[in-house]
Structure formats: structure tokens, C-alpha cells
């Protein structure tokens, strides 16, 4: 994922991986199938006032950047 992010946004926008016990349902896929590689992508889209808040707003144009990053990640997975 880091190489996909850096290819789209530049290396300065890649953060160190954050390992967490997770809170989203998606997290449990990796627990149930240990050899399955999983990741979450944080876009930094100006989310206010907070995730899952009823008045949550964010910069919707960040979705297009996320699509570019995920596309690059998929294409890079075929290079291996």
C-alpha cells in the first residue's frame, strides 16, 4: 500500500503503518483468515466532527484520490 500511496501522492504522504486491534468489521477478516493480507486506508479528508457522527462531513473529492491509490495497489499486486 505504501508504494501505491507514494506513486500517487509522493513519499512525503506515506505514514508508518499503524497496527491496531481494529474496530471496524473489516478487521475480523484478517483474524478469521490469518494468511489474508488486509489494510485500511486513511485518506485525510477533513472529516468533521468525527467518524459515525450524525452530522459528519468530509471532502468528497478525496474519494477520487482513494480510488487512484487502490487502483495502483491492485496493479502493483500483479507485478509480483
**Binned average pLDDT, 10 residues per bin, the chain of 80 residues:** 95 89 75 85 90 92 96 91
> Alpha-carbon torsion 55, 61, 62, 63, what sign?
positive
* CA triple 14-3-26, angle to 5 deg: 75
Cell of 75: 496493479
Res 5: pLDDT = 95
State pTM to two decimals: 0.77
Amino acid at each position: 500500500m505504501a508504494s501505491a500511496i507514494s506513486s500517487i501522492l509522493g513519499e512525503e504522504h506515506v505514514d508508518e503503518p499503524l497496527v491496531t486491534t481494529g474496530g471496524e468489521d473489516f478487521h475480523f477478516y484478517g483474524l478469521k483468515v490469518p494468511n489474508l493480507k488486509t489494510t485500511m486506508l486513511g485518506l485525510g479528508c477533513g472529516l468533521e466532527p468525527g467518524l459515525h457522527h450524525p452530522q459528519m462531513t468530509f471532502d468528497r473529492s478525496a474519494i477520487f484520490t482513494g480510488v487512484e491509490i487502490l487502483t495502483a495497489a491492485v496493479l502493483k499486486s500483479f507485478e509480483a
